[in-house]
């Protein structure tokens, strides 16, 4: 075979190699797929996976396959640290997750910050996360406890509650949001007559329930549904004189509808982190989620979608799957300035970035504009059970 022919064939083979072989850009996804919030975390995973599928359908990140590698933390700090360590050692460029505040705090301090790896949490809300000395490596698409705690206190006052008993599980999330609530409620003129700490995963909460009901007719209970929260709630609502129970997203689950009577359900009020349903980004998310058979308004499902989609945008903006550039990439694609990019518009975002145009991702959950601490403002909803389902009202 003539040399010229051999050279031409080699060139064609090289071209084919470059056009058909794609590498993986791997991002770790430490989610609590078992444990106290498994039901919610599995729904969040669906949101994150939808973002991954859309990115790959539009050419992938930097022309390569975008892959989320999920690892189960079980909402346990020790397991979470090990899960994150393995993800990072296996080459994860960054993290989308964790879900639980205690896991996020522990792994950030001991693993991801020392390794220089960005964490973009999808549901961790502890106020302690804002205070991390994190070298701009920890972000979240979920609003802080401060937002939910203050909103729940305002809701309690609006319901005419002036005295309340508080009980919270001993973990980082429930401790943090209970403290914010108690301080905000007192600041609004209310009186916290009891502050109780309970241990999760108990088989029986009769003693704690009696003490709370004796202290006040209204109770704010902060617990995870899967760590004894449902059992605690059942025993609390069975106490005579107990009027109403308030809580946050960790306690609300589909299990409550079958575990409690209609009358008991009517006495519950939950404040949840919520997507901003009035914005264009949410309307687009709604259509995409329905098409993918995902529950669009599940706790933090939209926030998980946003985290996975934004991480792909951040790596694209960085120009390389380089851990040291992801933080700057995230800030480059978040608002409030720049050309608006909505959920699902990855190809549009890539084209704008190639032109050197700054973009502003306006997400499924609302504007995802990071402050200096990597936090967002966020919105919340008030949720009550009526007509056989949970009904949400967005707080203005």
Angle between helices 38-57 and 301-318 (to 10 degrees): 40
158 and 138 within one domain: no
| Tens-digit pLDDT profile for residues 96-148 | 999 999 999 999 999 999 999 999 999 998 989 999 999 999 999 998 988 88
Instruction: Please tell me the predicted confidence (pLDDT) of residue 16.
Output: 42
Instruction: Please tell me the predicted confidence (pLDDT) of residue 232.
Output: 96
249 and 304 within one domain: no
| Tens-digit pLDDT profile for residues 321-336 | 999 999 999 999 998 9
Q: Which two tokens stand for residue 52?
A: 């991954």
Calculate mean pLDDT across residues 169-173: 90
Where does the pLDDT of residue 252 fall: very low under 50, low under 70, confident under 90, or very high at 90 and above?
confident
Q: Above 80 in pLDDT, residue 17?
A: no
| Residues written for the chain | 396
290 and 241 within one domain: no
* Other Cβ atoms closer than 10 A to 280: 12
Phi-psi region of 360 (alpha: psi -120 to 50; beta: other; left: phi over 0): beta
Instruction: Please tell me the predicted confidence (pLDDT) of residue 243.
Output: 96
345 and 198 within one domain: no
CA dist., res. 19 & res. 15, Å (int): 6
CA dist., res. 270 & res. 8, Å (int): 68
Calculate mean pLDDT across residues 220-245: 94
Residue 183 exposed, middle or buried by CB count within 10 Å (0-12, 13-18, 19+): middle
Q: Above 50 in pLDDT, residue 13?
A: no
- Domain assignment present for 3: no
203 and 178 within one domain: yes
Q: How many domains does the chain have?
A: 2
CA dist., res. 306 & res. 304, Å (int): 5
Tell the residue number behind the tokens 């309690």, with chain if given: 156
- Domain assignment present for 2: no
| Tens-digit pLDDT profile for residues 186-226 | 999 999 999 999 999 999 999 999 999 999 999 999 999 88
- Domain assignment present for 356: yes
CA dist., res. 166 & res. 317, Å (int): 46
Q: Which residues contact 156 (CB under 8 A, 6 or more apart)?
A: 164, 185, 190, 218, 220, 246
Percentage of the chain beyond pLDDT 90 is 81
Calculate mean pLDDT across residues 285-307: 95
For the domain that residue 296 is a member of, what is the CATH number? Answer: 3.40.50.2300
Instruction: Please tell me the predicted confidence (pLDDT) of residue 352.
Output: 98
Instruction: Please tell me the predicted confidence (pLDDT) of residue 87.
Output: 98
Where does the pLDDT of residue 22 fall: very low under 50, low under 70, confident under 90, or very high at 90 and above?
low
Where does the pLDDT of residue 378 fall: very low under 50, low under 70, confident under 90, or very high at 90 and above?
confident
Instruction: Please tell me the predicted confidence (pLDDT) of residue 162.
Output: 97
> Considering just the CA atoms, what is the radius of gyration of the chain in Å?
23
304 and 256 within one domain: no
- Domain assignment present for 1: no
Calculate mean pLDDT across residues 170-199: 95
Q: Which two tokens stand for residue 86?
A: 């393995």
345 and 254 within one domain: no
Domain that holds residue 119: 22-142+278-379
What are φ and ψ of residue 20, in 5° steps? -110, -25
Q: Which residues contact 336 (CB under 8 A, 6 or more apart)?
A: 360, 367, 369
394: helix, strand or coil: strand
- Domain assignment present for 389: no
Ordered alpha helix ranges (H), 1-123: 3-20, 38-57, 77-89, 101-107, 113-115
Q: Above 80 in pLDDT, residue 370?
A: yes
Calculate mean pLDDT across residues 61-83: 98
Q: H/E element holding 28? A: strand 24-31
CA dist., res. 222 & res. 166, Å (int): 8
Calculate mean pLDDT across residues 82-109: 97
| Whole-number average pLDDT of the chain | 92
Instruction: Please tell me the predicted confidence (pLDDT) of residue 265.
Output: 96
- Domain assignment present for 392: no
- Domain assignment present for 51: yes
Tell the residue number behind the tokens 């072989």, with chain if given: 21
- Domain assignment present for 322: yes
Tell the residue number behind the tokens 């945008």, with chain if given: 313
Residue 333 exposed, middle or buried by CB count within 10 Å (0-12, 13-18, 19+): buried
Q: Above 50 in pLDDT, residue 20?
A: no
Instruction: Please tell me the predicted confidence (pLDDT) of residue 253.
Output: 83
85 and 50 within one domain: yes
Phi-psi region of 155 (alpha: psi -120 to 50; beta: other; left: phi over 0): alpha
């Amino acid at each position: 075979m003539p040399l010229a022919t051999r050279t031409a064939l080699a060139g064609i083979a090289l071209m084919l190699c470059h056009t058909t072989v794609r590498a993986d850009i791997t991002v770790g996804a430490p989610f609590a797929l078992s444990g106290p919030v498994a039901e919610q975390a599995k729904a969040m995973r669906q949101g994150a996976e939808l973002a991954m599928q859309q990115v790959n359908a539009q050419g992938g990140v930097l022309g390569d396959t975008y892959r989320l590698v999920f690892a189960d933390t079980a909402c346990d700090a020790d397991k979470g640290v090990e899960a994150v360590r393995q993800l990072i050692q296996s080459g994860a460029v960054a993290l989308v997750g964790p879900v639980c505040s205690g896991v996020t705090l522990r792994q950030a301090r001991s693993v991801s910050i020392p390794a220089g790896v960005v964490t973009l949490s999808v549901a961790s809300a502890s106020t302690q996360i804002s205070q991390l000395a994190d070298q701009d490596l920890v972000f979240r698409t979920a609003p802080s406890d401060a937002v939910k705690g203050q909103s729940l206190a305002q809701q309690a006052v609006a319901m005419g509650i002036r005295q309340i008993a508080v009980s919270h599980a001993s973990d980082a999330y429930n401790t943090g949001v209970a403290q914010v609530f108690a301080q905000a409620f007192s600041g609004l003129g209310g009186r916290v007559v009891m502050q109780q700490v309970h241990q999760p995963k108990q088989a029986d909460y009769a003693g704690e329930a009696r003490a709370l009901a004796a202290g006040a007719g209204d109770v704010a209970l902060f617990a995870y549904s899967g760590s004894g929260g449902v059992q605690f709630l059942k025993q609390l609502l069975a106490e005579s004189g107990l009027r109403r129970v308030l809580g946050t997203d960790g306690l609300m689950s589909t299990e409550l509808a079958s575990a409690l009577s209609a009358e008991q359900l009517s006495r519950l009020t939950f404040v949840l982190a919520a997507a901003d349903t009035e914005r264009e980004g949410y309307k687009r998310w709604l259509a995409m989620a329905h098409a993918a058979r995902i529950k669009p308004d599940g706790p933090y499902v939209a926030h998980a979608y946003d985290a996975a989609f934004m991480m792909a945008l951040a790596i694209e903006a960085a120009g390389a799957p380089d851990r040291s550039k992801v933080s700057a990439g995230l800030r480059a694609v978040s608002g409030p300035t720049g050309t608006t990019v909505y959920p699902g518009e990855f190809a549009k975002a890539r084209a704008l970035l190639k032109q050197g145009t700054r973009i502003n991702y306006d997400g499924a959950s609302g504007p995802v504009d990071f402050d200096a601490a990597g936090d967002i403002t966020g919105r919340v909803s008030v949720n009550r059970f009526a007509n056989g389902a949970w009904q949400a009202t967005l707080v203005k």
